[in-house]
Amino acid sequence: MIQFWVRAALSGLIVAAIATIARRSPAAGALVASLPLLSLLGMIWLWHDTHDPARLAAHVEATFWYVLPSLPMFLVVPAALRHGVGFWPALAAGCALTILLYFITIGVAARFGVRL
């Protein structure tokens, strides 16, 4: 249970650091946010817990495929904000689009033999 809390605290510190950096420089905060820090930590913790190369490989590959449908959100949210849409509706629209694209990605990937 202590491992869980250490992992949660470390992940939370990364998110808090990104928010703090972004207050001073949106571009610098975006750069840090774009780094796959949480993905790397997830890989390290999965390896530490399982030492299973097949499981880790499946996890990393699935992460790649799930990143792709999340990218349009980073265009939809700022476009909506620039057109006067409030923060929460813009964020909700970006999340809804991402969820829709996740389902589409799962379906398309399955047609090509990729199981997610």
In-domain check, residue 11: no
Single pTM value for the model:
0.82
User: b/e string for 3-21 if b means 16 or more Cβ within 10 A?
Assistant: eeeeeeeeeeebeeebeeb
Radius of gyration of the chain measured on its C-alpha atoms: 17
Residue 113, both tokens: 């033999």
**pLDDT tens, residue by residue, 1-28:** 899 999 999 989 999 999 999 999 999 9
In-domain check, residue 73: yes
Question: Do 4 and 14 meet the contact criterion of CB atoms below 8 Å apart?
Answer: no
For residue 62, pLDDT over 90 is answered with yes
pLDDT of residue 1: 86
Domains identified in the chain, total number: 1
List Cβ neighbours of 20 (8 Å cut-off, separation of 6 or more): none
In-domain check, residue 81: yes
In-domain check, residue 24: no
The Cα–Cα gap between 73 and 16 comes to: 21
In-domain check, residue 102: yes
pLDDT of residue 63: 95
In-domain check, residue 79: yes
In-domain check, residue 1: no
| Residue ranges making up the domain that contains 66 | 52-116
